[in-house]
């Protein structure tokens, strides 16, 4: 069994898995929130054969870590969607469920344990920071997890997630109004992985959940900054 190399991981096997298709190995990590009242309730559902859902790992608010599916197997956590132009994210990813409802901060023990777990997974499978995504990134029209309360910036600083670029040069470096088109935004978002065929509002919502969770209103210059198009800010 390929397991996280910590002594207190709790092995709790789920029947809900299959071999990865076409010989694929993990190139992504997908983060989720459970949206349930407790980790135990989530664990029960993830191991219920009738539910037909699972994940490789579940982290409780108190930092407890359960492994449900071996890393080299295909857990059923992502569903329909795509990233970087490829579907069947389940065959290409490791899924981590976080004990959180999406409407409150993630606990310190949970976040500390996630740091440890992510670092190990990324090392074992040579997954780069760009390969750590949220469920909402690959399924913008269906999902919002891990949600606006998840601290992506913390993991980016540690090299455990993509670092969103920031606009440089202050107000004087902002894009010209004629450049603020949905077509340009879609193209730049696709360049960093957002390839799911969704409408403009769903895409904007997903990018903001990841990089500007407090933002609202129509598309603006600040929405382009995290996409890394540095030449736009010259």
Q: How far apart are CA 233 and CA 8, in angstroms?
A: 48
The gap between the terminal CA atoms of the chain, to the nearest Å, is 51
Check if the beta carbon of residue 203 is closer than 8 Å to that of residue 139: no
Q: How far apart are CA 194 and CA 205, in angstroms?
A: 12
Q: How far apart are CA 54 and CA 48, in angstroms?
A: 9
Give me the active site residues, please. 97
Cis peptide before 146 (omega within 30 of 0): yes
Check if the beta carbon of residue 145 is closer than 8 Å to that of residue 134: yes
- Rg value, the chain, Cα: 18
């Amino acid at each position: 069994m390929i397991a996280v190399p910590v002594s207190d991981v709790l092995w709790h096997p789920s029947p809900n898995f299959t071999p990865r298709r076409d010989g694929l190995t993990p190139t992504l990590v997908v983060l989720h929130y459970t949206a349930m009242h407790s980790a135990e309730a989530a664990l029960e559902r993830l191991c219920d054969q009738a539910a037909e859902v699972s994940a490789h790992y579940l982290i409780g608010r108190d930092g407890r870590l359960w492994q449900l599916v071996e890393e080299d197997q295909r857990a059923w956590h992502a569903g329909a969607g795509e990233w970087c132009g490829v579907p069947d994210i389940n065959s290409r990813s490791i899924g981590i469920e976080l004990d959180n409802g999406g409407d409150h901060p993630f606990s310190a023990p949970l976040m500390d344990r996630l740091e440890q777990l992510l670092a190990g997974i990324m090392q074992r499978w040579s997954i780069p920071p760009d390969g750590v995504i949220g469920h909402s990134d690959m399924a913008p029209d269906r999902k919002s997890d891990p949600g606006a309360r998840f601290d992506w910036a913390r993991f980016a600083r540690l090299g455990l997630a993509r670092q969103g670029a920031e606009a440089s040069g202050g107000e004087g470096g902002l894009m010209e109004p004629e450049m603020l088109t949905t077509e340009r935004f879609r193209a730049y978002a696709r360049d960093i992985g957002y390839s799911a065929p969704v409408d403009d509002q769903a895409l904007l919502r997903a990018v903001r959940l990841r990089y500007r969770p407090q933002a609202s209103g129509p598309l603006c210059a600040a929405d382009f900054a995290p996409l890394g198009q540095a030449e736009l800010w010259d």
